[in-house]
A = this chain, B = another copy of it.
């Protein structure tokens, strides 16, 4: 229900890299993913578990391989969380523009 484990999962660069690989190269078995890392295979497996618990990846067993695929839906809750801050940011830009307009009025 909360976006909490999603934010926690995204805190690790290794896990964000895993998501990037799955996004750009599609679903892959765990071993092939692990090969890309300067880290032991079991450690990558742990990271995959964190992502899975956060709902960010799903696994499909194919023979003795486990293919992991991206599940982007939980990221949409991050986007939703971001919305009011984006509004705030735009508001600040608008305010700055207003200020610049005033300055132009003063000098022109």
State the A residues within 8 Å of B (CB). Answer: 4, 7-8, 10-11, 13, 16, 19, 23, 70, 72-73, 75-76, 78-79, 81-82, 84-86, 88-89, 92
The A interface, classified by DSSP as helix, strand, loop or mixed, is helix
Interchain CB contact (< 8 A) of A85 among B11, B23, B82: B23
Residues of B near A16 (CB, < 8 A) are 7, 81
Sort A-B residue pairs by CB-CB distance and give the 6 closest, nearest first: A11-B11, A72-B89, A72-B85, A75-B85, A72-B88, A8-B11
Distance in Å: Cβ of A62 to nearest Cβ of chain B: 20
Interchain CB contact (< 8 A) of A73 among B11, B75, B78, B89: B89
